[in-house]
Structure 1
Amino acid sequence: MLKKVRNRKNSILIAFAALAFAAFSWTFIGSALSEQEQDLQNKSGFAQAQHLKGKWVRPDGGYRLVIEDVKPDGSLKASYYNPRKINVSISNWKVENERLHLFIELRDTNYPGSTYSLVYAKEQDALDGTYFQAVTKESYSIGFLRIPKGQN
Protein backbone atom coordinates (compact mmCIF):
# COMPACT_ATOMS: atom_id res chain seq x y z
CA MET A 1 0.00 0.00 0.00
CA LEU A 2 2.84 2.37 0.88
CA LYS A 3 4.47 1.63 -2.48
CA LYS A 4 1.19 2.50 -4.25
CA VAL A 5 0.98 5.86 -2.45
CA ARG A 6 4.59 6.69 -3.38
CA ASN A 7 3.97 5.79 -7.05
CA ARG A 8 0.86 7.98 -7.09
CA LYS A 9 2.81 10.86 -5.43
CA ASN A 10 5.61 10.49 -7.98
CA SER A 11 3.10 10.48 -10.86
CA ILE A 12 1.45 13.63 -9.51
CA LEU A 13 4.83 15.35 -9.07
CA ILE A 14 5.92 14.39 -12.60
CA ALA A 15 2.63 15.62 -14.05
CA PHE A 16 2.90 18.90 -12.12
CA ALA A 17 6.51 19.40 -13.25
CA ALA A 18 5.55 18.76 -16.88
CA LEU A 19 2.67 21.23 -16.63
CA ALA A 20 4.92 23.87 -15.05
CA PHE A 21 7.53 23.35 -17.78
CA ALA A 22 4.88 23.67 -20.49
CA ALA A 23 3.54 26.91 -18.97
CA PHE A 24 7.07 28.32 -18.66
CA SER A 25 7.91 27.37 -22.24
CA TRP A 26 4.68 28.83 -23.61
CA THR A 27 5.26 32.12 -21.80
CA PHE A 28 8.81 32.67 -23.02
CA ILE A 29 8.91 30.84 -26.36
CA GLY A 30 5.44 32.10 -27.34
CA SER A 31 6.42 35.73 -26.77
CA ALA A 32 9.67 35.19 -28.70
CA LEU A 33 7.71 33.78 -31.64
CA SER A 34 5.35 36.76 -31.52
CA GLU A 35 8.33 39.12 -31.73
CA GLN A 36 9.80 37.11 -34.61
CA GLU A 37 6.45 37.15 -36.42
CA GLN A 38 6.18 40.92 -35.85
CA ASP A 39 9.68 41.43 -37.25
CA LEU A 40 8.84 39.28 -40.27
CA GLN A 41 5.65 41.26 -40.91
CA ASN A 42 7.49 44.57 -40.66
CA LYS A 43 10.34 43.41 -42.87
CA SER A 44 8.04 41.86 -45.45
CA GLY A 45 6.02 45.03 -45.83
CA PHE A 46 2.84 43.70 -44.25
CA ALA A 47 2.11 47.07 -42.65
CA GLN A 48 2.69 48.74 -46.02
CA ALA A 49 0.42 46.21 -47.75
CA GLN A 50 -2.51 47.36 -45.64
CA HIS A 51 -2.68 50.38 -47.98
CA LEU A 52 -4.03 48.04 -50.66
CA LYS A 53 -7.28 47.45 -48.79
CA GLY A 54 -10.25 49.22 -50.27
CA LYS A 55 -12.16 49.84 -53.47
CA TRP A 56 -10.37 50.88 -56.65
CA VAL A 57 -11.61 51.98 -60.09
CA ARG A 58 -9.96 52.09 -63.50
CA PRO A 59 -10.96 55.53 -64.86
CA ASP A 60 -10.63 54.39 -68.48
CA GLY A 61 -13.54 51.95 -68.27
CA GLY A 62 -15.06 51.80 -64.83
CA TYR A 63 -13.55 48.39 -64.01
CA ARG A 64 -13.57 47.93 -60.25
CA LEU A 65 -11.19 46.11 -57.94
CA VAL A 66 -11.98 45.43 -54.27
CA ILE A 67 -9.15 44.33 -51.99
CA GLU A 68 -9.75 42.85 -48.55
CA ASP A 69 -8.14 40.54 -46.04
CA VAL A 70 -4.46 41.34 -46.69
CA LYS A 71 -2.34 38.73 -44.89
CA PRO A 72 1.34 38.62 -43.83
CA ASP A 73 2.05 35.64 -46.10
CA GLY A 74 1.44 37.75 -49.23
CA SER A 75 -2.09 36.56 -49.87
CA LEU A 76 -5.18 38.74 -50.05
CA LYS A 77 -8.79 38.55 -51.15
CA ALA A 78 -9.55 40.44 -54.35
CA SER A 79 -12.82 40.86 -56.24
CA TYR A 80 -13.04 42.27 -59.78
CA TYR A 81 -16.07 43.71 -61.58
CA ASN A 82 -16.68 44.63 -65.25
CA PRO A 83 -19.51 45.50 -64.39
CA ARG A 84 -20.48 41.96 -63.29
CA LYS A 85 -18.22 40.00 -60.96
CA ILE A 86 -15.31 38.26 -62.72
CA ASN A 87 -13.60 35.30 -61.02
CA VAL A 88 -10.19 36.11 -59.50
CA SER A 89 -8.08 32.94 -59.53
CA ILE A 90 -4.88 34.36 -58.03
CA SER A 91 -4.30 37.47 -55.92
CA ASN A 92 -1.18 38.30 -53.96
CA TRP A 93 1.19 41.05 -52.91
CA LYS A 94 4.92 41.36 -52.31
CA VAL A 95 7.49 44.03 -51.60
CA GLU A 96 10.33 44.12 -54.08
CA ASN A 97 12.96 46.84 -54.37
CA GLU A 98 11.10 48.73 -51.63
CA ARG A 99 7.96 48.89 -53.79
CA LEU A 100 4.63 47.26 -53.04
CA HIS A 101 3.50 45.00 -55.90
CA LEU A 102 0.05 43.51 -56.49
CA PHE A 103 -0.72 40.63 -58.84
CA ILE A 104 -4.23 39.60 -59.92
CA GLU A 105 -5.14 36.80 -62.33
CA LEU A 106 -8.65 36.53 -63.78
CA ARG A 107 -10.14 33.19 -64.90
CA ASP A 108 -13.65 33.51 -66.25
CA THR A 109 -15.62 33.81 -69.50
CA ASN A 110 -13.62 36.17 -71.77
CA TYR A 111 -10.88 36.28 -69.11
CA PRO A 112 -8.81 33.10 -69.66
CA GLY A 113 -5.81 34.15 -67.58
CA SER A 114 -5.81 37.91 -68.02
CA THR A 115 -3.58 39.54 -65.41
CA TYR A 116 -2.90 42.78 -63.61
CA SER A 117 0.65 43.52 -62.45
CA LEU A 118 0.41 46.67 -60.35
CA VAL A 119 2.60 48.81 -58.12
CA TYR A 120 1.21 50.93 -55.29
CA ALA A 121 2.09 54.63 -55.68
CA LYS A 122 1.85 55.95 -52.13
CA GLU A 123 2.15 59.63 -53.08
CA GLN A 124 -0.89 59.42 -55.37
CA ASP A 125 -2.64 56.64 -53.43
CA ALA A 126 -3.00 54.84 -56.75
CA LEU A 127 -2.18 51.53 -58.41
CA ASP A 128 -0.20 51.72 -61.65
CA GLY A 129 0.96 48.95 -63.91
CA THR A 130 0.11 46.61 -66.74
CA TYR A 131 -3.00 44.73 -67.78
CA PHE A 132 -2.39 41.66 -69.93
CA GLN A 133 -5.49 40.82 -71.99
CA ALA A 134 -5.18 37.05 -72.54
CA VAL A 135 -7.70 36.85 -75.40
CA THR A 136 -5.84 39.35 -77.62
CA LYS A 137 -2.43 38.62 -76.04
CA GLU A 138 -1.82 42.37 -75.66
CA SER A 139 -0.60 44.39 -72.69
CA TYR A 140 -1.79 47.85 -71.71
CA SER A 141 -0.51 50.45 -69.25
CA ILE A 142 -3.32 51.13 -66.81
CA GLY A 143 -4.01 52.65 -63.42
CA PHE A 144 -6.55 52.37 -60.62
CA LEU A 145 -7.64 55.20 -58.33
CA ARG A 146 -9.00 54.63 -54.85
CA ILE A 147 -12.75 55.09 -54.45
CA PRO A 148 -13.28 57.22 -51.32
CA LYS A 149 -14.97 55.42 -48.41
CA GLY A 150 -18.72 55.78 -48.53
CA GLN A 151 -18.81 55.82 -52.33
CA ASN A 152 -19.35 52.79 -54.53
Structure 2
Amino acid sequence: MKCTKSTKEKRNAAIRNGLIALAGMGAAFGSGALAQTPPVAPTGSAVPAFGVLVGRWARTEGPYVINISGVDENGKLDASYANPRPLPFHTAEVTRDGNALKLFFELRAAGYGGSTYTLKYDAASDSLRGVYDQVVVMQKFDVVFNRTK
Protein backbone atom coordinates (compact mmCIF):
# COMPACT_ATOMS: atom_id res chain seq x y z
CA MET A 1 0.00 0.00 0.00
CA LYS A 2 1.34 3.32 -1.06
CA CYS A 3 1.28 6.08 1.54
CA THR A 4 0.57 9.58 0.52
CA LYS A 5 2.48 12.44 1.99
CA SER A 6 -0.43 13.49 4.16
CA THR A 7 -0.75 9.97 5.62
CA LYS A 8 2.99 9.92 6.46
CA GLU A 9 2.70 13.32 8.10
CA LYS A 10 -0.28 12.14 10.16
CA ARG A 11 1.54 8.98 11.25
CA ASN A 12 4.70 10.94 12.17
CA ALA A 13 2.62 13.46 14.13
CA ALA A 14 0.89 10.64 16.02
CA ILE A 15 4.23 9.00 16.86
CA ARG A 16 5.70 12.34 17.94
CA ASN A 17 2.65 13.10 20.14
CA GLY A 18 2.84 9.63 21.69
CA LEU A 19 6.52 10.06 22.51
CA ILE A 20 5.86 13.46 24.03
CA ALA A 21 3.08 11.98 26.18
CA LEU A 22 5.32 9.12 27.33
CA ALA A 23 8.14 11.52 28.17
CA GLY A 24 5.74 13.64 30.22
CA MET A 25 4.50 10.59 32.12
CA GLY A 26 8.06 9.52 32.83
CA ALA A 27 8.91 12.93 34.20
CA ALA A 28 5.81 12.98 36.40
CA PHE A 29 5.99 9.42 37.73
CA GLY A 30 9.51 8.19 37.16
CA SER A 31 11.46 10.97 38.77
CA GLY A 32 12.18 10.60 42.46
CA ALA A 33 13.15 14.27 42.64
CA LEU A 34 9.68 15.39 41.63
CA ALA A 35 7.99 12.99 43.99
CA GLN A 36 10.09 14.31 46.90
CA THR A 37 9.52 17.99 46.24
CA PRO A 38 7.72 19.40 49.30
CA PRO A 39 4.41 21.14 48.77
CA VAL A 40 4.47 24.91 48.66
CA ALA A 41 3.15 26.35 51.91
CA PRO A 42 0.13 28.62 51.59
CA THR A 43 0.95 32.27 52.11
CA GLY A 44 -1.27 32.45 55.20
CA SER A 45 0.96 29.99 57.08
CA ALA A 46 4.17 31.96 56.74
CA VAL A 47 6.39 32.32 59.79
CA PRO A 48 5.97 35.76 61.37
CA ALA A 49 8.98 38.06 61.30
CA PHE A 50 10.98 38.29 64.54
CA GLY A 51 9.93 41.94 64.85
CA VAL A 52 6.38 40.92 65.82
CA LEU A 53 7.77 40.03 69.26
CA VAL A 54 8.81 43.57 70.17
CA GLY A 55 6.60 44.85 72.98
CA ARG A 56 5.60 44.46 76.61
CA TRP A 57 4.21 41.05 77.62
CA ALA A 58 2.41 40.54 80.95
CA ARG A 59 1.89 37.10 82.46
CA THR A 60 -1.77 36.28 83.15
CA GLU A 61 -1.02 35.56 86.83
CA GLY A 62 1.31 37.61 88.97
CA PRO A 63 3.32 40.75 88.35
CA TYR A 64 5.64 39.07 85.81
CA VAL A 65 6.52 41.09 82.71
CA ILE A 66 8.81 40.47 79.75
CA ASN A 67 9.89 43.57 77.82
CA ILE A 68 11.29 42.93 74.34
CA SER A 69 12.75 46.10 72.87
CA GLY A 70 14.52 44.57 69.89
CA VAL A 71 15.61 41.43 68.08
CA ASP A 72 18.43 40.91 65.60
CA GLU A 73 18.41 38.73 62.47
CA ASN A 74 20.12 35.90 64.40
CA GLY A 75 17.34 35.75 66.99
CA LYS A 76 19.10 37.47 69.89
CA LEU A 77 16.48 39.36 71.89
CA ASP A 78 17.11 42.66 73.65
CA ALA A 79 14.82 41.78 76.54
CA SER A 80 14.36 42.23 80.29
CA TYR A 81 12.20 40.69 82.98
CA ALA A 82 10.33 42.21 85.91
CA ASN A 83 8.88 40.43 88.96
CA PRO A 84 7.92 43.28 89.71
CA ARG A 85 11.47 44.66 90.01
CA PRO A 86 13.64 44.51 86.87
CA LEU A 87 15.95 41.52 86.38
CA PRO A 88 18.32 40.79 83.52
CA PHE A 89 17.97 37.69 81.38
CA HIS A 90 21.13 35.61 81.10
CA THR A 91 19.84 34.25 77.77
CA ALA A 92 17.06 35.68 75.59
CA GLU A 93 16.63 34.31 72.07
CA VAL A 94 14.09 33.33 69.44
CA THR A 95 14.31 30.58 66.83
CA ARG A 96 12.11 29.39 64.00
CA ASP A 97 10.47 25.99 64.43
CA GLY A 98 8.50 25.20 61.27
CA ASN A 99 5.90 27.96 61.09
CA ALA A 100 6.33 28.93 64.74
CA LEU A 101 8.56 31.29 66.68
CA LYS A 102 10.07 29.70 69.80
CA LEU A 103 11.44 31.90 72.57
CA PHE A 104 13.87 30.87 75.27
CA PHE A 105 14.73 32.93 78.35
CA GLU A 106 17.06 32.02 81.21
CA LEU A 107 17.24 33.80 84.56
CA ARG A 108 20.33 33.47 86.76
CA ALA A 109 19.64 36.29 89.22
CA ALA A 110 19.45 35.48 92.94
CA GLY A 111 16.58 33.14 93.67
CA TYR A 112 16.24 31.95 90.07
CA GLY A 113 19.32 29.74 89.65
CA GLY A 114 18.89 29.09 85.92
CA SER A 115 15.09 29.00 85.76
CA THR A 116 13.79 29.17 82.19
CA TYR A 117 10.82 30.20 80.10
CA THR A 118 10.27 28.17 76.92
CA LEU A 119 7.51 29.91 74.96
CA LYS A 120 5.92 29.97 71.50
CA TYR A 121 4.38 32.99 69.86
CA ASP A 122 0.67 32.42 69.13
CA ALA A 123 -0.27 34.82 66.32
CA ALA A 124 -4.02 34.11 66.59
CA SER A 125 -4.18 35.40 70.18
CA ASP A 126 -1.07 37.62 70.01
CA SER A 127 0.33 35.87 73.08
CA LEU A 128 3.38 33.94 74.27
CA ARG A 129 2.51 30.47 75.60
CA GLY A 130 4.62 27.78 77.14
CA VAL A 131 6.34 26.53 80.27
CA TYR A 132 8.15 28.22 83.13
CA ASP A 133 10.67 25.83 84.69
CA GLN A 134 11.42 27.12 88.20
CA VAL A 135 14.54 25.04 88.92
CA VAL A 136 15.02 26.23 92.50
CA VAL A 137 11.71 24.72 93.67
CA MET A 138 11.81 22.02 90.96
CA GLN A 139 8.37 22.88 89.52
CA LYS A 140 7.09 23.60 86.03
CA PHE A 141 4.16 25.89 85.30
CA ASP A 142 2.10 26.40 82.14
CA VAL A 143 2.15 30.14 81.46
CA VAL A 144 0.65 32.72 79.12
CA PHE A 145 1.94 36.23 78.45
CA ASN A 146 -0.38 38.69 76.71
CA ARG A 147 0.80 41.79 74.88
CA THR A 148 -0.04 44.97 76.78
CA LYS A 149 -0.91 48.19 75.05
Q: Give the AA of the match of 1:66.
A: N
Question: Counting helix residues as a fraction of each chain, which structure ranks higher?
Answer: 1
Cα distance per residue 1:22-48 (max 9 Å; x no partner): xxxxxxxxxxxxxxxxxxxxxxx8962
Instruction: Specify the alignment match of 1:69 in structure 2.
Output: 70
Q: Give the AA of the match of 2:140.
A: S
Cα distance per residue 1:5-35 (max 9 Å; x no partner): xxxxxxxxxxxxxxxxxxxxxxxxxxxxxxx
SS of the counterpart of 1:108? coil
SS of the counterpart of 2:60? coil
Structure with larger Rg: 2
1:140 to partner: Cα distance: 0.7
8 Å contact from structure 1 (residues 90, 103) kept in 2: yes
8 Å contact from structure 1 (residues 77, 91) kept in 2: yes
Q: Give the AA of the match of 1:131.
A: Y
Q: Give the AA of the match of 2:104.
A: F
Cα distance per residue 1:56-95 (max 9 Å; x no partner): 0002102010002210011111100001112210000001
CA RMSD of aligned residues (A): 1.5
8 Å contact from structure 2 (residues 117, 132) kept in 1: yes
Q: Does 1:53 align with 2:50?
A: no
Q: Where in structure 2 are there 5+ consecutive unaligned residues?
A: 1-45
Q: Where in structure 1 are there 5+ consecutive unaligned residues?
A: 1-44
| Mapped partners of 2:72, 2:59: distance in 1 | 24
Identity of aligned residues (%): 36
| Mapped partners of 1:62, 1:110: distance in 2 | 16
8 Å contact from structure 1 (residues 86, 107) kept in 2: no
TM-score, length of structure 1 as denominator length:
0.65
| Mapped partners of 1:139, 1:97: distance in 2 | 25
Q: Does 1:86 align with 2:73?
A: no
CA shift in 2, pair 1:122/1:47, >3 Å:
closer
SS of the counterpart of 1:141? strand
TM-score, length of structure 2 as denominator length:
0.67
Aligned counterparts, 1:29-44, within 5 A:
none
CA shift in 2, pair 1:77/1:46, >3 Å:
farther
8 Å contact from structure 1 (residues 125, 146) kept in 2: yes
8 Å contact from structure 2 (residues 47, 100) kept in 1: no
SS of the counterpart of 1:124? coil
Cα distance per residue 1:82-132 (max 9 Å; x no partner): 011122100000011211111000010111101000000001000000000
